[in-house]
Structure 1
């Protein structure tokens, strides 16, 4: 049993790219709508798939339309190397950058530090496809070996902590999170980048899964349904930035959620090579809850592993075993709406992201806490205090369950992920703490603040300005100071730079529109050195700077299609 009272951790940054969602806001819209993102798999992604032998299970999936695109120039990756990089490497580079932007942490500020990188992945379609094609290049190894999914990020950002690619099959995302949590709690690292990716660009793995009987021959994903006939594959990438909670609060990081417990275990011989075990799941959940001294009754939601197979019932039995073994027996009520423990699965909408399944489930859980709602449109279960379960069928018209915060008790939820080979992961999340203002409201030296913007070139700067202006349409006026502070200190300052002077949110929004349209924007002489590529002490513009940075839109990469697999030897610049 894990020790009680382990230090809580903070999720301070998060980014995602999945079918139907190029960022976390679009991910939430997709999950709230509840419409499955499944469709036919294009022939170019089915190389080697023999429908006559393995059946139709692999012919439907939830796929990204732009999985082969990448902004190589932004990351200073030459065109030859870019072509030979596994698309997972490319996706992780862009999404990790967005995750750090989400945290208001310039990647360069962490260079040379003991930042750990833990990346989850359980497939290697790119390498499998290049082997079948017989093509070869001097970049074949570094572009396709799975260790580079993590090592590429550590190299790119000059992070000096442990760098590991983790494969525990479907639980890989939460296994990676567990490793990061252990390093943070032991003091071995002060920050962690946790990523997960899954890309479906070849036919071999789909063939193997279909032949095994894991994939739905009807192309449906129906978690917990009596007529569930298998899962639908999905692809995407998710990244998180983690710190110890106290450190995050001291640094003014935007805490998205608190990790109260995270743990992993294995079924041993209690389950089977491809079959999970309810008792092992119950022990895992009990161990995870014990890390934060948390009662199962204080949970209001569980983001379940539930893939849409006959084994989904074992997950419900594991929950019952957990609650039956609770001191005092089953709870009189759970902490979710109507006193129930609500249970859902992202797989009804996005399919099963395999090595990234736990990570996208975690992202959904963070968004539930942020939006104070539990999506019901994709189908949901309610476990009542007597441990009976009632189901709500998927219905895109079903309203979300309102789950507001409370001053008396924080909202908590769990996320489960169970691996094909018997490795299991679970995490307990708690809503972010109220972040008091401490020594008072922010106070700039002058009412007119220089708000910096930067990009790699003039065209990209226009897109940065437009994207930020659109975002600010829904911002609150009293957020102006925190937004200005975040842009001053929470962004990497790139080569092409401009300053928008503003004393209010309206002035900033108007200045961004003017900048994007090519109209002249007044410059401030104090910032001349910064505009020319130098550094600037933004703190000296404030008597009292804001205590917190805020989450703002990520950089709009300029992506180019690179294809799935190189078809001929590449020449030219590296």
Structure 2
């Protein structure tokens, strides 16, 4: 743990990111879903509506953005017994999987974190799993550890043996960015050197849906209409996301793959300026001003705002808050395409992820910066230098955001129903020197591993497909990442390769069940036999950084949204 103190303006880095959302089992699939502009919302199945009373609730809540396999989990991979897994909140299960993949995305071997003071901050504002149990009267000796909200964060800390703060955050719809703000404060204070920030929302009960519908929060038509005069309420959505956060200087020194830079992260409350369930434009402006000030950034340097905008009558308040922020600034131009500030919301595609909403918005913001493009889906707006807002053409595709010599920057907003607000300012990752690395004339040994031979074949197939795509990194840095940025599991193989083509060929042979002759170096053979080795001495000069590679292909088994005994009790 660092003993230094850091300024509130210390830039932070997002070095790892993963997600499970409707239309996306990973961040690449999520981006393709955003580009399609296609709504992922549909009818809610009966098993998700236990406790729903239509006579009281009214018409809202019967449409939602749901994952097709929210109940599936690879319990064996995480060494969780069958009974315990069945009685775990699906949020806990999915947080374990997404945290693992987020660390893989960062090129950080989970075992390397054991005993370290890594902070864990998990956002969640619902307890649908526990509500389901209460509705059916189901109980087991694992019910408490499976459903108490503290275990959403504590389960992660326990699994990886992390010794930093482990906190579950609930500020309603702003929980995801509130958790990030807490992590940012701890990193800047030097309390820990790394944080895992997660957020989850799984639709598993009808009670909260009925309560929200009855109070008029949910759309009776089941359609999300952000910034529309026809908006009639939000549509629930689910998803689980995780991020790995470090101080930027530490990330660059460690050779981490920086996905985006956090220049500001702030949270506040409306006090009595708004209402118990209504937000306040002045409080939003004050919050955004503070987040921008952390990075010494002017509002005119922003090119995009990922808005909260769930599709209610209060969406206009958010635009008024933006105007309040800009009042007196009068920029000649914004930094977005065509000199405008573009405004969008992920909720038009996924629905409102409630406690995970800010995390979904953050992930979209990171992807916008990585791709230099803004998805042009439903609800896309732009603001000109006179602060007038324009509806843009909705549909599939993107608005290109070309590089301009200055780093692209954007804001992400999330406002809670109880008055707690959070805002994050993101900047594109800085350019870094080529990773370098020299091996010599012999083939580079590229290691892969999995829990068993069948899983190893899936690992090989997944990696080969990725390395055949446009995002494939060079061979040396791919090998270095797999050597030093992964836990090495029981079933192992090595592909000796001089080129990416040779690596892809070897991986496909493993995926087909064929043998690949390993490197004859004695140290590599020791690794194949299950030993831990230091890969650095095998290089003339190791690469200076690691890269994002595909995550582990879990073997998931359906456990049900609720334990089977609970399902029987409900009938």
Q: TM-score, normalised by structure 2?
A: 0.96
Correspondence for 2:391: 391
Q: 1:478 to 1:59 in 2, by over 3 A?
A: closer
Q: Is the 8 A contact 2:222 2:235 kept in 1?
A: yes
After TM superposition, list the pairs within 5 Å mapping 1:233-272 onto structure 2.
233-272=236-275
Q: Is the 8 A contact 1:20 1:64 kept in 2?
A: yes
Q: Is the 8 A contact 1:477 1:504 kept in 2?
A: no
Correspondence for 1:461: 456
Distance 1:301 1:4 in 2: 26
Q: Could you tell which deviates more after superposition, 41-50 or 282-291?
A: 41-50
- Aligned residues: CA RMSD: 1.4
Q: Is the 8 A contact 2:119 2:192 kept in 1?
A: yes
Distance 1:142 1:289 in 2: 40
User: Structure 2 stretches of 5 or more lacking a match?
Assistant: 1-5
Q: 1:543 to 1:306 in 2, by over 3 A?
A: same
Alpha-carbon distance, 1:542 to partner: 1.2
Distance 2:14 2:377 in 1: 27
Deviations 1:372-430 (A, max 9, x none): 1000123310110000001125323xx41111223x31000000000000000000000
Q: Is the 8 A contact 2:464 2:507 kept in 1?
A: yes
Correspondence for 1:280: 283
Q: Is the 8 A contact 1:259 1:427 kept in 2?
A: yes
Distance 1:181 1:258 in 2: 12
Deviations 1:276-310 (A, max 9, x none): 00000000000000000000000000000001000
Correspondence for 1:171: 174
Give the paired residue count: 560
Correspondence for 2:482: 487
The alignment status of 1:33 with 2:52, answered yes or no, reads: no
Alpha-carbon distance, 1:475 to partner: 4.7
After TM superposition, list the pairs within 5 Å mapping 1:219-238 onto structure 2.
219-238=222-241
Alpha-carbon distance, 1:5 to partner: 6.3
Q: Is the 8 A contact 1:133 1:567 kept in 2?
A: no
Q: Is the 8 A contact 1:333 1:385 kept in 2?
A: yes
Secondary structure, counterpart of 1:213 in structure 2: coil
Q: Is the 8 A contact 1:445 1:541 kept in 2?
A: no
Secondary structure, counterpart of 2:61 in structure 1: helix
The alignment status of 1:44 with 2:79, answered yes or no, reads: no
Alpha-carbon distance, 1:538 to partner: 0.8
Correspondence for 1:145: 148
Distance 1:351 1:108 in 2: 36
Q: Is the 8 A contact 2:107 2:257 kept in 1?
A: yes
Task: Give 1:422's match in structure 2, choosing from 419, 422, 437.
Answer: 419
Correspondence for 2:121: 118
The alignment status of 1:189 with 2:186, answered yes or no, reads: no
Deviations 1:37-72 (A, max 9, x none): 111100111112122221121100010110000000
Report runs of 4+ in structure 1 exceeding 6 Å deviation: none
Task: Give 2:546's match in structure 1, choosing from 544, 549, 559.
Answer: 549
The alignment status of 1:79 with 2:77, answered yes or no, reads: no
Distance 2:7 2:284 in 1: 19
Task: Give 1:534's match in structure 2, choosing from 531, 535, 538.
Answer: 531
The alignment status of 1:290 with 2:274, answered yes or no, reads: no
Distance 1:393 1:276 in 2: 28
After TM superposition, list the pairs within 5 Å mapping 1:297-446 onto structure 2.
297-325=300-328, 329-392=329-392, 394-396=394-396, 399-406=397-404, 408-437=405-434, 441-446=436-441
Alpha-carbon distance, 1:478 to partner: 6.5
The alignment status of 1:506 with 2:501, answered yes or no, reads: yes
Secondary structure, counterpart of 1:543 in structure 2: coil
Correspondence for 1:449: 444
Q: Is the 8 A contact 1:284 1:426 kept in 2?
A: yes
Correspondence for 1:16: 19
Distance 1:340 1:88 in 2: 39
Q: Is the 8 A contact 1:121 1:196 kept in 2?
A: yes
Task: Give 1:520's match in structure 2, choosing from 490, 515, 524.
Answer: 515
Correspondence for 2:3: none
Alpha-carbon distance, 1:118 to partner: 0.1
Q: Is the 8 A contact 2:473 2:547 kept in 1?
A: no
Alpha-carbon distance, 1:499 to partner: 0.6
Distance 1:228 1:286 in 2: 28
Correspondence for 2:91: 88
Distance 1:364 1:568 in 2: 38
Alpha-carbon distance, 1:206 to partner: 0.3
Distance 1:271 1:418 in 2: 12
User: Structure 1 stretches of 5 or more lacking a match?
Assistant: none
Q: Is the 8 A contact 1:5 1:293 kept in 2?
A: no
Distance 2:566 2:348 in 1: 41
Q: Is the 8 A contact 2:50 2:135 kept in 1?
A: no
Distance 2:100 2:261 in 1: 21
Secondary structure, counterpart of 1:385 in structure 2: coil
Secondary structure, counterpart of 1:546 in structure 2: coil
Distance 1:194 1:257 in 2: 15
Q: 1:64 to 1:217 in 2, by over 3 A?
A: same
Q: TM-score, normalised by structure 1?
A: 0.96
Alpha-carbon distance, 1:4 to partner: 8.1
